[in-house]
Each structure stands twice: as C-alpha cells, then as structure tokens.
Structure 1
Amino acid sequence: MSAAYPISDSARRMARLAGLSYLAYTLAGFYITFGPIPSLSAVAGDTSLTQTLDTLFRSGFLAETVLYTFVCVSAAAMYAVLSPVSRGLALTAAFCRLIESALGATFILFKYAAFTAAVNPDLTPGFSDEQRASLVDLLRDIYGSGLYVLLIPMAVGGILYFSLFFRARLIPRWLSGWGVFTYAMVGTVSALVLLFPALRDQVMIFFLPGALFEWVAALWLLFAGIKIRNETQTAT
C-alpha cells in the first residue's frame, strides 16, 4: 500500500531537537565513560576525601541527570516526528525510552546512596566498617547491573523509532537500518549479560558501534534534518 506521510515544519524542527538531544546525551555519556570521574571504590577508600575528588565524582551524577533528561526530550521529539507514520508504534517507542529514563534515575539514586554511605559514616552509626563496606558494595552492584536492565527498553524504543524512519524514508535507509541493527545488538548483548553476568567484561566492545551510530544520527538529524522524497513511499 502506498502512502505519503505529512511532515510539517514543526516536525522538522522537532527532528532537529531530537538530534540536539541525541548529541547532548551522547556527550554526557562520553564524559561519564571517559571523563575524570573517580571510581566509587577509589572514593570509598579515601579516608580524607578532597574537595576536588568529591566535586569530580558529583559531576558524574550531574552528567547522568543531563543524560536521562535529554533521553526524555529526544523521546518526545521523535514521537512528534514519527507519529504520522504510526502513532501507536511511535507512542510505544516513546514509552520505552521514558522507562529507560525512569530506571536510569532510580539507579542514580542507588549510586548516590552508595556514595553517601561511603563518605559519610555518620549517617550509618549502627554499622561497623565491614557492614558499611558491604552496603556500599551491594548498592554499587545494583547500580552496575541495573544499567543492563534499562538498556533493554532503550533497545526496543530505538528499534521501533528507526524502523519507522526506515518505512517513511525520512532519513537515508542506510542510517535507519544501521539504527535498527545497533539497537538490536544493544538489546541482545544486555540480555546476555543479565543471563550470564560473567560475560560483562567481554561484551563491552559490542557497545562501541552503538555509540558511533548515535553520534552520526545526532549530527544527521541536527544538520541535515528530515525530508520527504519526491517519489511515492511504500508503507509496510
């Protein structure tokens, strides 16, 4: 069945907002992964925590907050762009990305609780040093494992969004197909890590193409935007 998808000037602006949001949260993710943020183990083992170390660690919380905030913004913007193609699938994708953000915010709280317990022993006066260390390890493990949980709704949302882009040809099909493949890979690897935790250290390389894709998609949406081809488009 042939169908043309009406794309307004407002939708084009929302596509650029989605690109800007992708760029913002990938930059935040880059800082979280490669920035000068000390590990929780280093902070917990520092009995005389310096102001610089404390500030650097807290900057990670700020970066994660920015990341999940812009995930929400991108979800809303992508829905506005893709709802003319399939309102139901676009709404489902948006909910998946919002679930990702909600889980991310929850796991940030677990990480902050671990950080607070580590650097403020006065808040847990009834705990021995060993008990406090065990509490920190537990909260840290919840945070670390929880990240793989939120990647699954992220992957579902990404697959749906870029499947709709592929159908509507609003961006090049090679880019849409790359997006579907990327998010399918992220979801598959995350599920494998949840099933087999020992794989965690061996699978990180599979997330690198995803990071590259989000940079390319962000720049494309921000600068090239979306467009309708002259020929009739085929809806599947």
Structure 2
Amino acid sequence: MSTASESATQMRYARIAGFVYLLLIVLFMGGQFLIGHVTGSGTFAERTAHIVAGLPLYRAALVVQLLASVFTVLLAYSLYVVLKPVDEHLARLALYFRLGEAFGGLTTFVTFAALALRTEPEFAQSLGASQVKTLVDLARAADFASFNISIVFFSFGSTLFYRLFLRTSYLPRALSAFGMFASALTFVVAVTGLVMPAWGNASQVGWIPIFIAEIAIGILLMVRGARPAPATTIAG
C-alpha cells in the first residue's frame, strides 16, 4: 500500500474514531437517562409498575446500551488503524483491551433477564414477589460488577491509545496527556466500585475528566482527522 493511500486510510479512520467517541457518549448518557426516566423512584413494586407502563421505552434504553458496546468495537479498530504506524504491538494490545471492554458490556442479557423477572407475571406467580425482588437485586449486582470490570479493560486500552497519541502530532500533546490521566482515573473509579461498592456514588466525580477528554478529542479527530506534522512521530 502506498504512503498516500495509508495516509488517506488513517485520515478516514481518525474521523470515524472522532465520530464514534461522540456517539458513545450520546448512547451511554442517553441510555442511562431513559432508564432513570422510565424507572422513576419509589418502592420496588412502584418502580416495577413504572417499567411495565413504559416497557417499550425501557427495552429501547437497554438496546441503546447494547449498541454502545457494539460501537466500542468500531472505535477500537479505528484507533488501531490510526495508531498502528506509531507502534503496531502497543496499538494491538490497546485494541485487545478495548475489545475486552466491549465484550464485558455485552452482559446486557443480565439486565434483560432481570426485566423478564420483573414484568412477566409467571415469575411472580411461581417464585413469589419477595424472591423475584431478591433475584432482580442479584442481577443488578452482577450488572454493576460487569460494568466495573469492563471499565478496568477500558482504562488500560484507553491509556495505551492516548500514550500512542502522545507520540504523534495528531492531537495537542497536553490533550493526549490529559486523556492518559483521565483514562487511568477511571481505573480508580472501577476498582473503588468493585472493592467498596458503598463508595460508588462518591467516586462518580472521577468520570468527569474522561468525558471532557473524549468530547474534545472526538471533535478534533472528526474535524481534523489524522493530520501529522512534518515529523511523523515525536520521541516519547
């Protein structure tokens, strides 16, 4: 493949990566908002009634979360194509970590199982309301653990990709370094959630830097693509 063709491919995939960075934020936040909107507040029975009343919208929210995992694969591959010329081995390792994140997120089936327990009458009739609640709580705990485990994979993969960006002129070096810091911080958030779940809500502030970084980087990549400076890489 010619150098011109390789550069065109990198440019195209950089713009795809930028778009998907922004799309994933919309999908993640949109799914969370819809779930919270449908579920509302109150007792277990009241929240279940809200879900039954808004069941199509609730299912759509779960599909939105599933799509976030699917598009993570596209983001990971796009970043790999863009950054492979910098260090192919490190880029491949980052790709594998991000794929681990995506497959971890595919445990949405646990949430669908919990939804069936809450909304299909035969489960309440055969198990009893108390046991259904216990199983739904167990499914929620499994989903919470799965999410945090997937974030551990995300943290390693994202940190490595930003490390590779730091060695290029595709992004401002300060922004690449901030992306590394923000990605590493999500590891702290995830491990805190796994080790000390009671602190989970307090640690959510740790998500703010990665949201800022990915919005900024997504916009830059979508607008500029992979436009290298005269020197292809910067030692580092």
TM-score by structure 1 length? 0.89
* 1:126 partner SS: helix
Q: Higher mean Cα deviation, 224-233 or 114-123?
A: 224-233
Distance 1:41 1:91, change over 3 A: farther
* 1:45 partner SS: helix
CA contact (8 A) 1:44 1:118 kept: no
Tell me the distance in 2 between the aligned counterparts of 1:50 and 1:62. 15
Query: What residue is the counterpart of 1:75 in the other structure?
Result: 76
For structure 1, list consecutive stretches of 5 or more residues without a partner in the other structure.
1-5
Query: What residue is the counterpart of 1:60 in the other structure?
Result: 61
Alignment length (residue pairs): 230
Query: What residue is the counterpart of 1:190 in the other structure?
Result: 190
Query: What residue is the counterpart of 1:105 in the other structure?
Result: 106
Distance 1:30 1:120, change over 3 A: same
Instruction: Note the alpha carbon deviations across 1:33-77, whole angstroms, 9 max, x for none.
Output: 334642387696246567751122112112102211111100010
* 1:58 partner SS: helix
Equivalent AA in structure 2 for residue 57 of structure 1: Y
Tell me the distance in 2 between the aligned counterparts of 1:48 and 1:138. 20
CA contact (8 A) 2:86 2:233 kept: no
More helix by share: 2
How do residues 40-189 of structure 1 correspond to structure 2 at under 5 angstroms? 45-46=45-46, 53-106=54-107, 108-123=108-123, 126-189=126-189
For structure 2, list consecutive stretches of 5 or more residues without a partner in the other structure.
none
Query: What residue is the counterpart of 1:235 in the other structure?
Result: 235
In the TM superposition, residue 192 of structure 1 has moved relative to its aligned partner by 2.2
Instruction: Note the alpha carbon deviations across 1:72-120, whole angstroms, 9 max, x for none.
Output: 10001000011111111111111111111111011x1111110111101
* 2:234 partner SS: coil
Instruction: Note the alpha carbon deviations across 1:130-178, whole angstroms, 9 max, x for none.
Output: 1111111100111123211110100100000010000122211111111
Query: What residue is the counterpart of 1:208 in the other structure?
Result: 208
Query: What residue is the counterpart of 2:16 in the other structure?
Result: 17
* Percent of aligned pairs with the same amino acid: 26
Tell me the distance in 2 between the aligned counterparts of 1:109 and 1:145. 14
Equivalent AA in structure 1 for residue 120 of structure 2: N
Tell me the distance in 2 between the aligned counterparts of 1:49 and 1:191. 32
* 1:226 partner SS: coil
* 2:230 partner SS: coil
Distance 1:34 1:208, change over 3 A: farther
RMSD of aligned Cα (Å)? 2.2
Q: Higher mean Cα deviation, 86-95 or 47-56?
A: 47-56
Q: Higher mean Cα deviation, 46-55 or 24-33?
A: 46-55
- Correspondence 1:218 to 2:192: no
